[in-house]
Amino acid sequence: MKAKKNIVIVGVGLIGGSFALRCRSLGWAQTLIGVDNNPHHAQQAIELGLVDTMATLEEAIPKADLIVLAIPVNAVPTVLQSVLDAIEDQVVMDMGSTKSQIISAVEHHPKRGRFLASHPMWGTEYSGPSAAVDNAFQGKAVIFCDAEKTDADARAHAASLFSDLGMRIIEMGAVEHDLHAAYVSHISHITSFALANTVLEKEKEGEAIFEMASAGFESTVRLAKSSPAMWTPILMQNKENVLDVLNEHISQLRKFKSCLEKENWEYLNELIVNANQIKRIIH
């Protein structure tokens, strides 16, 4: 049995809160300490039992064995630097959806080796402490980026922790991660945001959509409920990759437009047959 740890979770929202719940269920933590600069979220995190206590970062770090950053990616570089400045040899992880800028920000930090950049491939369209879900990570993938820059003991510690959460660990470079994340996650959010804006623009009154909306519509616009505080920074940090995929996506949509305009039904059918190949990837 592993020794219980004091775990500090910076950002007690959807991801941090879900991680906290699981730490508690698995009996890992001696004390779960939350850090959050939103007083309402801090209060909710206590009320919902996500953490045992809330503290400032300065108070929390000396008590911590493990520090997890689950805050919007634009906040990670600065907070991560402060954390690395303050730790001795504790392990520090982030859980952000982008990796290159975060890793670059601490590239030359003397405590760089204590940091492991991770991205658990789970989320929902909801946010804040009340969105936290127990056992959210079970069976999902977690990406470790540039893990060779992390000290062997810290890397092993993180690997053991995510394995115990039931996650598959995949290692890749930060550049590669950000490219693939644009394809499999970031573009889905943009299409969903844009689809919501399209329908809201076209159906100002909303009555007919409300009555007619079915599961298919809900499925494609669900992500449009996602938090701007989380998603604007992700799209900012992954701008180049996202633009590349977005340009391809607009060009694919133009093929559908052209088929309709030219009544080229044979090619329209081919485009749909080709899209059906996604069955190879999702089941």
Residues 39-98 that bind a copy of itself (CB under 8 A): none
Contact status, residue 118 vs residue 73, Cβ threshold 8 Å = no
Other Cβ atoms within 10 Å of 128 Cβ, number: 18
Contact status, residue 20 vs residue 50, Cβ threshold 8 Å = yes
Residue ranges of alpha helices (H) inside 116-238 are: 152-164, 174-181, 187-202, 207-212, 215-221, 228-237
Shortest separation between residue 261's beta carbon and a copy of itself, angstroms: 7
Q: Would you count residue 123 as binding a copy of itself (CB under 8 A)?
A: yes
Name which of 110 and 216 has its Cβ closer to a copy of itself.
Answer: 216
Q: For 22, which DSSP code?
A: H
Shortest separation between residue 87's beta carbon and a copy of itself, angstroms: 30
Question: What distance in Å separates the CA atoms of residue 161 and residue 9, rounded to the nearest whole number?
Answer: 15
Q: Would you count residue 249 as binding a copy of itself (CB under 8 A)?
A: yes
Cite the beta strand spans of 181-242 per DSSP E.
none
Q: Would you count residue 236 as binding a copy of itself (CB under 8 A)?
A: yes
- Residue 167 φ/ψ region, left for φ over 0, alpha for ψ in the -120 to 50 degree band, beta for the rest: beta
Q: Would you count residue 216 as binding a copy of itself (CB under 8 A)?
A: yes
Shortest separation between residue 59's beta carbon and a copy of itself, angstroms: 32
Q: Which two tokens stand for residue 26?
A: 């698995």
Name which of 149 and 180 has its Cβ closer to a copy of itself.
Answer: 180
Q: Would you count residue 135 as binding a copy of itself (CB under 8 A)?
A: no
Q: Residue from 63, 140, 149, 151 that binds a copy of itself (CB under 8 A)?
A: 140
- Of 5-34, binders to a copy of itself (CB under 8 A) are none
Interface characters, 169-208, with a copy of itself (x: CB under 8 A): -x-x---x---xx-xxx-xxxxxxxxxxxxxxxxx--x-x
Question: What distance in Å separates the CA atoms of residue 92 and residue 263, rounded to the nearest whole number?
Answer: 57
- Of 103-122, binders to a copy of itself (CB under 8 A) are 121-122
Q: Residue from 56, 88, 204, 278 that binds a copy of itself (CB under 8 A)?
A: 278
What are the C-alpha distances in Å from 14 to residues 19, 70, 170? Answer: 9, 9, 22
Q: Which two tokens stand for residue 63?
A: 């008590």
Name which of 57 and 179 has its Cβ closer to a copy of itself.
Answer: 179
